[in-house]
Amino acid sequence: MALSPGTMTLPGPVGVCPDLRQETFELPAQPFSVADARDRAFERLLQWGLSPEVCRTARLVVSELFTNAVLHTDSDRIGCLLYVADNQIRIEVRDQGSYASTPVLCFPRADEERGRGLQLIESLTQAWGVESAGLGLGHIVWAVIRP
């Protein structure tokens, strides 16, 4: 994917893997981009031959991570990296902005309408985490799904 000047780049996975499949895209940090991100991820994973059930799970993970980046950062663009290798799917969503704090798993009261996105990520994935993209460069929130 060619990126225009002033946009971010996403790092690729480390090492060489002969069965690696990888897709990178970025979208405006706007609510309408969430649907585009989840649809792109779903379609690409289907094209790579993953089961529809696994693709639906990945679509939901992308949707939650992208939504969090739209709602909780001051980014202009949000990047997404999907890769499949070694019988796992890794999803990374990178923002340009800053969070009020680093994303953490929280446990809202039953009457609260928000705050369950990372609980959902926790239940759907084998692992997830947050990394700094560098001083003032935002965060990378990643998740791993094993089909």
Instruction: Return the CATH fold of 24-145.
Output: Heat Shock Protein 90 (3.30.565)
What does the pLDDT read at residue 103?
A: 62
What does the pLDDT read at residue 76?
A: 92
Whole-model pTM: value is: 0.77
* Burial call 24-45: b when 16+ CB within 10 Å, e when fewer: bbbbebeeebbeebbebbbebb
User: How confident is the prediction for the chain on average, in pLDDT?
Assistant: 80
Non-local CB neighbours of 105 within 8 Å, separated by 6+ positions: 118, 119, 122
What does the pLDDT read at residue 13?
A: 46
**Percentage of the chain modeled with pLDDT above 70:** 71
Task: Pick out the chain residues at pLDDT < 50.
Answer: 1-16
What does the pLDDT read at residue 5?
A: 39
